[in-house]
Chain A
Amino acid sequence: MAEIRLHNLAHSYSAAPNAPQDYAIREMNHVWQQGGAYALLGPSGCGKSTLLNIISGLLSPSQGEVQFDGKAVNTLSPQERNIAQVFQFPVVYDTMTVFDNLAFPLRNQGMDEARVMSKVHEIAEVLELHPLLHKKARNLTADEKQKVSMGRGLVRDDVSAILFDEPLTVIDPHLKWKLRRKLKQIHEQFNITMVYVTHDQLEASTFADKIAVMYGGQIVQFGTPRELFERPGHTFVGYFIGSPGMNLIEVQRCEGGVRFAGTVLPLSDALNQRLAELDGKRLQVGIRPEFVHIWDGVYEDALCARVLHVEDLGTYKILTFDLDGQVLKARLQEDQPVPREQVYLSFPAQWLMLYADDYLVEVAP
């Protein structure tokens, strides 16, 4: 059990990195609190697995420190860090039975057989592996093997943290849901720090209390699923989280707000004040399709856009429209009337975010 702190951490796979793009992990500071359930969310190749391997000690960072409870552990091996890690593809010891597989990390620690027995049975119970305990691991199906791999990670309850590297990739969808619940239960039961790497936002938000979104070797936002949804700290978070992602419009500064083409979007006074400091930066406004307000019929103060098409997704509809040359989306509830050809809409000020060079412009509320 430990708090994991990443201090000025950076990593590059090339021997002599000089440009920022040579880095798989760009310099970062981050803290995983003891006992938290965290997700590390990001697209393929953003450095998630690299970061995980650095935490577990399979990889040594080119710069900075990994600290467990304030102590630097850079030079310690995974064994010494006492960390458990579950990999994307199942790793089982073929020649052993399921029982021996689960017992393996415990026996390597020199635990006595009676305790091994009870721990293995406990974890087999949770993962529903009991009927398989005496089967050779080689003869299992892929998802049974992955359950065994996970079991080997979960069986040690004294670990500093358990790291999951997209562990449910090979698992059937209906089992995925069950196993995620199981992990959550185990987390509540043992209060171990868990870091769960995934590229699936649903997986991340069902498992984790807080999500770190990674993009281009950096953690661009760290927050609860709700924060990520309501106030994306980076345009990538807006785009990556939510379905469909955030509407982003490139804008220029103007009197009283920002504008694109012929449309002026007024901003709050606080934001207008900040705008002055942001000269020379690339400005974007973003609003989630869920927060675009669609008026029923004609409304004078609203913006008028041309309807392009409507997708019916069952419980809701996605409206795609063209607003002054920008193709944007809005979400319509089931009972809302579907506009034809023209639509009147507005962007509620509280949900309209301003981004400068991709980062959210924060103002005091």
Chain B
Amino acid sequence: MIAWTIYLTFGGAVLSLLLPRAFARWIALLTAIAGLALGMVVFVGTPIPELAQFTTIVRVPWVPALGMNYHLAFDGVSLTMVLVTGISAVSTVLFSWDTEHRQNEFFFWLLLVVAGCYGVFLSADLFLLFVFYELVIVPKYFLIAIFGSTNKEYGAMKLTLYSFFGGMLVFVGILVASVAGGSLDLNQLSQFEFSSHLQSWAFPVLFLGFAVLAGIWPLHTWAPTGHAAAPTAGSMLLAGIVMKLGSYAGLRVAMNLFPQGFQMWSKWIAVLAVIGIVYAAAVALRQRDLKFVIGYSSVSHMGFVLLGFATANALGVSGAVLQMFSHGVIAALLFAVAGRMIYRRTRTRELDALSRMNLSHAMPFAAFTFVVAAAASMGIPGFSGFAAEITILIGAWKTYPIAVWIAGVGIVLVAAFTLRALKLSFFGEKNVQTEVTTITTSSREVSNPITIPEKIGACMLMLTTFAVGVYPKLLLDRITPAIETMRFLK
């Protein structure tokens, strides 16, 4: 049943392109809700023990001559990712409800990204996974280049080329794995013993290829520019789920297929992850554009995911998967506030300019949302970010105690830049010298109230992060058994 998330979303994409303008956003919303509902039904309906194995749902021969199958499967990790995709998709559509410009096309590209993400999370065939993975690249380009803002064509091209560069490395890795292993089936390949020489070079190629999309330092620079250039919906999807494609595939393919290679390189992954956490947080501290702050915070949070992978124990990796879920929700929320609630009404994201507008009075709901999002992002207990990061750090303590100390510095920095952004954007002190005109124009524009779809979307995201934060076992119970069956654990 969960396979229908893919078909429905592709169908919805085509429909929203072909049907008249008035239908486009309703179709998009219905499609997104259907995807989320399917994910929820399967989440509730599947007994937890069944989620430990990567269970096949569909398996049809595709190109027998090359051993390609249309093979879908899922386990607890996939299901978690499908769920966050559904949540992101629904909230993204809600936050793009009043898109005017080329509406049909907009929702077409949007749903194509979502469909590709569902596809990656459910694929059990290496070729199929790569098809969906690459499928996501081009819609992102158009989404940003046509509908974006600041420096959009540059941001779009940079992001696309980085993704395709990663894709190229992945292509090499997949070819080598399939030629050496004689199969494209992930389940079969994960039983195959690759020679350790092959693993030692194929693992870094494959993992790095995927990690480009996950924003690994020093190949993260596409992320802030891309996020800033993208339309709000684009940033929400990019940070929310597309970055997770990279980390998910790194876990599912690179680490699971080449366990020896992973053990050889895991400490380097930890080094890069820790550098990413601290570096991105430090850079975010100095940004003037609110979206850049959030863009760098995404890189920093994804650093935790990579650190979790590098621990190579069930606790750390489960925490990493939980962090993927949690960051998907939090990043969507942050970008929604910055891009939709603030930028749409004030036409600026410059922190200095925002600090003069006294937005907390003009938009109390936006202020509340941002406070919640910031708290979740900083890792305040009670929100999902805390649950995920503490799990990762406990896991990392067993393997890399030093990394935990450095990552701790990173957490402090994250708190610092988040509080700074929060203070400047919403709780800036009223500047007496500001000319009267600025205040009048800004307050007039600001006076547009937050719309109902925006409120629904924001509440949904806030509830999710809160629910997972209070009761992380809801997801961890399903993730950990699936991780424990993977063979890279020490």
Q: Do A and B share a complex?
A: no
